[in-house]
Amino acid sequence: MVYTPQLTELMKKVEETRPSRVGVDFPRMTQEERRDVLEKFHPDYNLDGFREIKVGVNKGARMPIEMADVFEAYSRIRDLKFDLKADPHYDVDVLVIGGGGAGASAALEAHSTGADVLVATKLRFGDANTMMAQGGIQAADKPNDTPATHFLDVMGGGRLENVPELARALVMDAPLVIKWLEDLGAMFDKKDEGTMITGHGGGTSRKRMHTARDYTGAEIMRTLRDEVLNKGINVVEFSPAVEIILDEQGRAAGAVLYNLETEQYEIARAKTVIIATGGSGRLHYRGFPTSNHHGATADGLVLGYRAGAKTIYADSIQYHPTGGAYPPQLLGLLVTEKTRGLGATPLNINGEQFVYHLETRDVESSAILRECDERGLGVPLPTGIEAVWLDSPLIEIIHGEGTIERQLPAMLRQFQRFDVDIRKEPMLIFPTLHYQNGGLLIDDDAHSTVENLYVAGEAAGGIHGTNRLMGNSLLDIIVFGRRAGRNAAAKSREIPVPEGLNFEHLDSYHQELDNTGAGDGRIGPMVLPHYTHR
Amino acid sequence: MVDIFIMGKRYKVPETLTILDAMEYAGYQMIRGCGCRAGFCGACATVYRMAGGYELLVGLACQTKVEDGMYLAQIPFFPGRKAQFDLEEIKPSVAHFAQLYPEVYRCLGCSSCNKVCPQDIDVMQYIAYIQRGDFEKAADLSFDCLMCGLCVSRCPANIVHYNAALTARRLYSRYIAKPDRFLAERAQAIENGELDAEIDKLVKADKEKLQELYNNREIEK
Ligand SMILES: Cc1cc2nc3c(=O)[nH]c(=O)nc-3n(C[C@H](O)[C@H](O)[C@H](O)COP(=O)(O)OP(=O)(O)OC[C@H]3O[C@@H](n4cnc5c(N)ncnc54)[C@H](O)[C@@H]3O)c2cc1C
Ligand code: SF4
Ligand code: SF4
Ligand code: FES
């Protein structure tokens, strides 16, 4: 029990209304109601949070202000001199930037074809959003399902704004990816005779969500990491890339790495480069808390953009409806969708349900924002913010005692650590910044719009349109990670060691910043979030 | 506000913070010792002692609240050994395992590992299962391991529990758990191009057609 006397008092209302809510379904919204709540309350529709960026290949594109700030920034190496003619510190076929699921898959695939691979990553190998995914990974590998059925779900979920060829690659590779992971010894939930146990996720028309308890991403990440280490692939940690290097013909030819501990810069020359740096939750768009790991600061987007790679749907951000709001130690922490899947419902200060509990993520989030904003029915917290209840004890009533312990062990443990027993006490939640729907534009070879530059994972855009469904991101990082690795390695075999390495693209980017005044003295990419001295 | 001592130095921090947040509040820029910030990655292992006490306590910095009089230091890296192996060359047998991690057979049964595990895993027991060659039970019991390294830091037998456990899980999943038969068939069909025609029709369809198909799609119960 960690709730204050005021909260405990308010919690009584939840307990009072609970018996009358059991077994009663709140009505789903009509298509019109959905559109209405999205337009009025979803942060993507609130133009105050955006601005058009003034520089680069997508000049005029709309971006969240905090993202535009890191795009419209000067390079941290602007005033440094590098001798790009000297022998580089690293000289490889394929440079993979980012050690999450996409980077690890790319490295394995490139290595398997004989390429010399270097992985440079910002934190430890595997300190990544991939490690945190709980819900699952999709693939159409059941007799009643096909990739085409999966395709329709992906496209419909993405509001048909997806690049169809990318969605095709995603669903067609999906069973191959699950098979690959199974062969690598990833421990999926299975029946005794070997059949994968699969369930539904938001927006799926077939039960195709594969899980590894509620540590699916962790299981995939640690398996891939172990395999990369088994293969002896060179991984340098705490060495973020801070700039892409181009060759004399403007093709990607390496990167500048920054050793966070010695504060020295190192040059990595490579025939082909793969950006796999993940998402951007730590930019805290509009002040939202985030579910993302420490290093999710959009670095790869910035580097790629400066080198001339185009973005797509950079203004489309996914807010997960159920982020932790209280106790304060859990702010932003993802409360897995499975919690609602098992029957927990959102409630306002009066203990009343105000939205069907399984609307899509965007609609559910918007309804929660509306409850707190327009209707003024949020639960005020001692930390100065508002939240709504998520009635988790309902799960035990619906499915029987012990369900939470069996089905949501990570969740139970996390709240227990801060003295909340979610079996008996409802959770306090608020939408959390979760996923970057867009990113750098790729084609189905995972190739960006800059030659010899590939992009995979959350840093890439176009696959999910403007709304990604749960379970399709873990899938996409491996599908496109492998494609990027395979294609970057193949390309590296065809071309000589790049020559005439230079930073001319930075000079012209800086010129544009100077001319427009857009840079305002800022330095980017962010690399590490700054939480000191709050 | 409470007083905490980060590597011996005193800082005043709000009592609602986690150790991780408190270090940042105190002015540290986290580079090591911080990954997921949510209890999934094991980057933030921390040892501490309470003022006046003698017992060394441990926890994850992102999952432990500060307390008045906490003396703490992080263990952001532990030089534990990982055996390199080719999964296709080894088998789930005691003989193979002993070559990779001979030290697991030297467990003294002191249970120090259990006392420190932030995931409350019965670490000593999964080591016992590995010794016996019961990889299924070892895989099951060790599944929630975050690879934080705290157990390793206390083990008098120099066992690297988390790496041994991961190898056990991979062996179990690769060789003992049965493969999904239909998955293999489906993968084969895709590689043979048998499913191309169906999806290519959709890829070429216009938005209206897709929207109609999407709205009317059948949803499995
Ligand atoms: C809490 C949570 C739960 C989720 N649940 C699910 C789910 O159930 N199903 C699903 O499909 N998806 C889920 N997702 C989304 C999914 O996990 C991520 O989108 C996906 O794992 C991203 O993989 P990635 O490899 O692209 O990026 P990451 O896994 O984030 O890896 C990127 C890596 O690059 C590093 N990096 C960053 N900048 C630099 C730089 N400048 N130089 C070098 N390295 C750098 C990072 O530190 C990190 O290691 C979830 C996400 C979160 C945060
Ligand atoms: S078993 Fe060891 S490495 Fe794994 S979580 Fe427990 S203490 Fe950490
Ligand atoms: S700490 Fe080491 S020796 Fe002691 S029980 Fe655990 S594994 Fe065995
Ligand atoms: S930072 Fe990942 S477990 Fe604490």
- Per-residue pLDDT tens digits for B50-101: 999 999 999 999 999 999 999 999 999 989 999 999 999 999 999 999 999 9
Q: Are A285 and A64 in contact (CB under 8 A)?
A: yes
Cβ atoms < 10 Å from Cβ of A395? 24
Q: Whose CA is nearest to atom 4 of ligand 2?
A: B145
Is a pLDDT exceeding 70 seen at residue A1? no
- Predicted confidence at residue B221, as pLDDT, reads 85
Contacts of A517 (CB under 8 A, 6+ apart): none
Give chain A positions within 8 Å (CB) of B32.
123-124, 238
CA of A442 to the centre of ligand 2 (A): 39
Is a pLDDT exceeding 60 seen at residue A158? yes
Check residue A255 and report its DSSP letter: E
| Residues in B 123-162 with any Cβ partner in A closer than 8 A | 139, 143-144, 146-147
Q: Which residue in the block uniquely carries the two structure tokens 């467990």?
A: B107
pLDDT tens column, B141-199: 999 999 999 999 999 999 999 999 999 999 999 999 999 999 999 999 999 999 999 99
Is a pLDDT exceeding 90 seen at residue A491? yes
Answer positive or negative: Cα dihedral of B40, B43, B44, B47.
positive
Q: Are A13 and A28 in contact (CB under 8 A)?
A: no
- pTM equals 0.97
Burial A337-352 (b: 16+ CB within 10 A, else e): bbbbbbbbbbbbbebb
Q: What is d(CA A499, CA A144) in angstroms, rounded to the nearest whole number?
A: 53
Report how many Cβ contacts below 8 Å link chain A to chain B.
224
| The pair of three-digit structure tokens given for residue A326, joined into one six-digit string | 């209280």
pLDDT tens column, A355-390: 999 888 899 999 999 999 999 999 999 989 999 999
Question: Which residue, among A487, A503, A461, has the nearest Cα to A272 in the 3D structure?
Answer: A487
Q: Are A444 and A168 in contact (CB under 8 A)?
A: yes
- Predicted confidence at residue A350, as pLDDT, reads 97
Give chain A positions within 8 Å (CB) of B63.
329, 414, 417
- Nearest-10 Cα torsion for A83, A84, A86, A88: 120
Question: Which residue, among B107, B171, B98, B105, has the nearest Cα to B137 in the 3D structure?
Answer: B171
Is a pLDDT exceeding 80 seen at residue A532? no
- Predicted confidence at residue A214, as pLDDT, reads 84
Question: Which residue, among A222, A173, A179, A140, has the nearest Cα to B179 in the 3D structure?
Answer: A179
Mean of pLDDT values over A153-159: 94
Using the beta-carbon criterion (under 8 Å), do B172 and A147 form an inter-chain contact?
no
Angle at A170 between CA A169 and CA A173, to 5 degrees: 75
**Does the CB atom of residue A487 touch ligand 1 within 6 A?**
no
**Does the CB atom of residue B146 touch ligand 2 within 6 A?**
yes
Q: What is d(CA B175, CA A89) in angstroms, rounded to the nearest whole number?
A: 41
Mean of pLDDT values over A509-513: 98
Confidence class of residue A135 from pLDDT cuts 50, 70 and 90?
Answer: confident
On the CB side of A223, CA atoms within 13 Å amount to 28
Give chain A positions within 8 Å (CB) of B36.
127, 131-132, 293-294
Residue B154 CA, closest ligand 3 atom number: 1
- Predicted confidence at residue A534, as pLDDT, reads 47
Determine the residue of chain B that is closest to A239 in CA distance.
B31
Which of A155, A212, A222 faces B210 most closely, judged by CB atoms?
Answer: A155
pLDDT tens column, A308-340: 999 999 999 999 999 999 999 999 999 998 899
Phi then psi for residue A380, to 5 deg, are -70, 135
- Secondary structure of chain B in the HEC alphabet? CEEEEECCEEEEECCCCEHHHHHHHCCCCCCCCCCCCCCCCCCCEEEEEECCCCCCEEEEHHHCECCCCEEEEECCCCCCCCCCCCCCCCCCCHHHHHHHCHHHHHCCCCCHHHHHCCCCCCHHHHHHHHHHCCHHHHHHHHCCCCCCCHHHHHCCCCCCHHHHHHHHHHHHHHHHCCCCHHHHHHHHHHHCCCCHHHHHHHHHCCHHHHHHHHHCCCCCC
Contacts of B175 (CB under 8 A, 6+ apart): B91, B92
Contacts of B19 (CB under 8 A, 6+ apart): B4, B44, B46, B48, B59, B61, B62, B64, B65, B66, B70, B72
In angstroms, the separation between the Cα of residue B219 and the nearest Cα of chain A is 4
Q: Are A468 and A439 in contact (CB under 8 A)?
A: no
**Does the CB atom of residue B112 touch ligand 3 within 6 A?**
yes
- Predicted confidence at residue A200, as pLDDT, reads 87
Q: Which residue in the block uniquely carries the two structure tokens 């019965």?
A: B122
CA of B60 to the centre of ligand 4 (A): 6
**Does the CB atom of residue B44 touch ligand 4 within 6 A?**
yes
Angle at A316 between CA A518 and CA B204, to 5 degrees: 120
Pairing of strands B2-6, B70-74: parallel
Determine the residue of chain A that is closest to B12 in CA distance.
A533
pLDDT tens column, A175-203: 999 999 999 999 999 999 999 999 988 88
Give the gyration radius of chain A's Cα atoms.
23
**Does the CB atom of residue B76 touch ligand 4 within 6 A?**
no
Is a pLDDT exceeding 80 seen at residue A78? yes
Residue type, B41: C
Give chain B positions within 8 Å (CB) of A193.
178
Q: Calculate the average pLDDT of chain A.
A: 96
Catalytic residues of A: 320, 340
Could you tell me if B12 lies within 8 Å of chain A, comparing CB atoms? no
CA distances from A105 to A155, A304, B35 (A): 25, 20, 20
Confidence class of residue A533 from pLDDT cuts 50, 70 and 90?
Answer: low
In angstroms, the separation between the Cα of residue B172 and the nearest Cα of chain A is 7
Mean of pLDDT values over A487-491: 98
- Nearest-10 Cα torsion for B153, B156, B162, B164: 150
**Does the CB atom of residue A134 touch ligand 1 within 6 A?**
yes
Using the beta-carbon criterion (under 8 Å), do B220 and A205 form an inter-chain contact?
yes
ipTM for the whole complex = 0.98
Could you tell me if B8 lies within 8 Å of chain A, comparing CB atoms? no
Q: What is d(CA B180, CA B184) in angstroms, rounded to the nearest whole number?
A: 7
Angle between helix A147-157 and helix B207-215 axes, rounded to 10 deg: 100
Residue B158 CA, closest ligand 3 atom number: 2
End-to-end CA separation in angstroms for chain B:
53
